[in-house]
Amino acid sequence: MNWDLDFDRQRIDRADPNPWLALYLDRSLPIHDEAKRALLRGYNSRSRRYLLPILRPLARLGIILVKLIRMVLPRRWAWPKALHRTIYWGLKHFVRRDSNYLILRHFHIGTEILKFIADNTGVTIESTQPLRPKNLADLKDDAFLVHDLNIYNFILELNQTLQQQGREIEPPERLNFDAITDGEFDFDPGEQGRTNVIDLQTAIEAYVPMYSLLLTDHDFWRAANSLQLDETVALYVSQLVQDPLLIGVVNNRHPMVPFITLQSGFRLMLHGLDAEMLHAYLRQRKRQQEQQQQETES
């Protein structure tokens, strides 16, 4: 089950087709090329093939056990600083460099998508904190918790402001893509050491029970269900760019029918993919608009 991941050579074996190469060559879904390579390298890793099938049921059992422990703990007991420092330590020493690359990218992408919506609705959002970590150490400042708070606060402030102004989300006369970076972000995902062998999906499954333990049950539930707001954000972008395609590529849906938290690890992977595709789509639209402008000027 270990396939050659030399994406540049693109050697096709018709007797043993490479599933990861097939996904890499497929361009039906927009996604940044290096992010796609990083994802597929993780899928082909030993940790995902051998460790994840064992870890996933144990992690879900861990969530259930934490839920039972929470019944006797003080309701507001939490230790978010320990959570973020533990995540940082694990990412630095045990998680693959390409997985850390995807994690740091995600914060930048989320910040830019929300800013794009704000810019094109004409609403100044003051309740969110832009997250642009330069390295793994920047995650220690409650980055994951702030990320979850940002999405809720953004939706609350955006819609409250629009309602107060008697407006709906409507496409602007000209889309403003100033918030969207067309290229790599400025950050350092760290070293690829000898112990950095854990892929992204396995790492996420391992961290979710810790998330449920070191945050309050209130905060964990809110964080887990923020994942279903991917559909909400995609709808906002779809209305602005006048393209219903975006709704079809988003996988986390139906925020009005919340899931239980047991599948949070898998849905978090979908959340990352949703964000990557939304951002890649906006980069494509930005290029198209710039090209059209150049053709008009010439």
pLDDT at 245: 87
Q: How many CB atoms lie within 10 A of CB 251?
A: 17
pLDDT at 198: 98
pLDDT at 278: 97
pLDDT at 1: 59
Handedness of CA 40, 83, 137, 128 (dihedral sign): positive
| Whole-number Å distance between alpha carbons of 85 and 206 | 15
> Can you name the residues that pair with 51 across neighbouring β-strands?
none
Q: pLDDT tens-digit profile of 62-104?
A: 999 999 998 888 888 999 999 999 999 999 999 999 999 999 9
Q: Say if 87 falls within a structural domain.
A: yes
Q: Say if 162 falls within a structural domain.
A: yes
Which residue positions in the chain have pLDDT lower than 70?
Answer: 1
Cβ proximity of 67 and 208 under 8 Å: no
| Whole-number Å distance between alpha carbons of 43 and 48 | 6
Residues with Cβ within 8 Å of 14's Cβ and at least 6 positions away in sequence, in order, are none
Q: Say if 158 falls within a structural domain.
A: yes
| Whole-number Å distance between alpha carbons of 58 and 64 | 10
Q: Say if 221 falls within a structural domain.
A: yes
Cβ proximity of 4 and 17 under 8 Å: no
pLDDT at 86: 97
Q: How many CB atoms lie within 10 A of CB 248?
A: 10
Residue 228's region, left for phi above 0, alpha for psi from -120 to 50, else beta, is alpha
State the burial class of residue 137 (Cβ atoms within 10 Å of its Cβ: 0-12, 13-18, 19+).
middle
Q: pLDDT tens-digit profile of 193-218?
A: 999 999 999 999 999 999 999 999 99
Phi/psi of residue 178, nearest 5 degrees: -60, -30
Number of domains present in the structure of the chain: 1
Q: Say if 30 falls within a structural domain.
A: no
| Residue whose tokens read 């832009």 | 130
Q: What is the pTM of this model?
A: 0.95
Q: Say if 5 falls within a structural domain.
A: no
Whole-number Cα distances in Å, 284 to 31, 114, 180, 220, 256: 10, 17, 10, 35, 31
Q: Say if 4 falls within a structural domain.
A: no
| Whole-number Å distance between alpha carbons of 99 and 105 | 10
Residue span of the structural domain in which 194 resides: 51-297
Entry field: residues in the chain = 298
